[in-house]
Structure 1
């Protein structure tokens, strides 16, 4: 004689409890595949999860789904906003990067100053991305490098290592700024370390390309610029901290980490 199989596998069958378990399994499936349905008819049920001892209610599921949806939309909006600000800072870098201020025997380039500000405003991730955009535009022939240079030949030339080193300046400086929440002393240390990493990479590349002595490379490419770079870092910390704080308070700049007072 045919005997109907119990769907829940329990000795004493409870159809109501079994249906609730089915609804719970369906809700898990819909959540995994980001499928939204109207769950209001099930808002009042509760299921005893025997393995964990917890109680899962339909009302909690609806509330969690709404909360998670809001966080996801917020994150997406924040990412879109940061990408827009990244593009703006890359444009500023392209405009001011080629400019030099002829003061003394060594002209002052504004590129690394703008990169320090970019690290202040965007942090390590998007600040580095802004520099990547800048380097990519210069590589395809747009005259955005110092002295209005451009092209792959400029990047592969003797001073190309310093251009690539801008990535280290943006990332290391931005990381210190973000982790310290804009602490001026820690941020300045991070920018100095990032600038030093830029010099190490650039000088090593210069020595390799020119087949010259390290002392000559330091005399030509490092020593004349140290004092100027330190001054630019100090100014960027003052201006960057002020801009970061004011723009965040005004809602123009949205940062995940708060700015220290």
Structure 2
């Protein structure tokens, strides 16, 4: 059941993604950004429904033209451009991470598994989209859109795991989120 508190949490989640999206290292064809860290963090804290809602709000704000995507950009062109698959991939990644945690447990070990799953879901969506939208070979798409992001993605997954479970536990203690969403 959604209430005002849940909508506020989802809005804060979208804001966190927007802020961390601006932490970036512009490396062509796909920049390193804090978005994937933020998506993992939000899914770990909020679970499948609220985490996915936060990502949806973030994507809708960006599609509407607000500068919430990496490099203070926005607009539909970013969603359908060569790197749009990473953005679109955040939706299934957030849902699958949250669902995995909901079905197992919100522990550090399970959150680490969930965040690695989410990282690969995002990379797979992004790489396939990059190959098609950028008219690249599979080798070029993998070399530019997946391989360089595995190690940084694992580091971000570890950070999202630790911080996400820590924050989730504190929010539960403060009764700001329930045991299940």
TM beyond 0.5: yes
Partner of 1:193: 117
CA offsets per residue over residues 16-40 of structure 1, 9 Å max, x none? xxxxxxxxxxxxxxxxxxxxxxxxx
Secondary structure at the counterpart of residue 88 of structure 1: helix
Q: TM-score, normalised by structure 2?
A: 0.90
TM-score by length of 1: 0.64
Equivalent residue, structure 1, for 2:150: 226
**Aligned-pair CA distance for 1:107:** 5.8
Unmatched 5+ stretches in structure 2:
none
Q: Secondary structure at the match of 2:9?
A: helix
Return the offset for 1:95.
Answer: 2.1
Aligned residue number for residue 125 of structure 1: 49
The alpha carbon displacement at 1:221 in A equals 1.0
RCO higher in 1 or 2 (8 Å CA, sep ≥ 6)? 2
1:243 aligns with 2:167: yes
1:215 aligns with 2:124: no
* Preserved CA contact (<8 Å) 1:180 1:187: no
CA distance in 1, matches of 2:3, 2:93: 22
SS in 2 for 1:199: helix
Alignment partners' CA distance in 2, 1:124 and 1:144: 22
Which stretch shows the higher mean deviation, 93-102 or 195-204? 93-102
Corresponding position of 1:142? 66
Q: Which of residues 86, 97, 104 in structure 1 aligns to 2:21?
A: 97
Please name the residue that 1:206 is paired with.
130
Give the gaps of 5 or more residues in structure 1: 1-74
Question: Aligned with 1:132: secondary structure?
Answer: helix
State the alpha-carbon separation in 2 of the partners of residues 181 and 82 from structure 1: 20
SS in 2 for 1:147: coil
Deviation at 1:248, TM superposition (A): 0.7
- Which residue in the other structure is 1:180 paired with? 104
Residue 68 (structure 1) aligns with: none
For 1:194 and 1:102, locate their aligned partners in 2 and report how far apart those are by CA, in whole Å: 22
Question: Which residue in the other structure is 2:12 paired with?
Answer: 88
Specify the structure having the higher radius of gyration (Cα).
1
Paired residues of 1:98 and 1:149 also in contact (CA < 8 A): no
The alpha-carbon deviation at position 96 of structure 1 amounts to 2.2
1:110 aligns with 2:110: no
In structure 2, relative to structure 1, the CA distance for the partners of 1:216 and 1:101 (3 Å cut) is closer
Deviation at 1:102, TM superposition (A): 7.4
**Match status 1:170 vs 2:111:** no
- Separation of aligned partners in 2, 1:254 and 1:193: 24
Query: Structure 1 CA distance, aligned partners of 2:136 and 2:17?
Result: 31
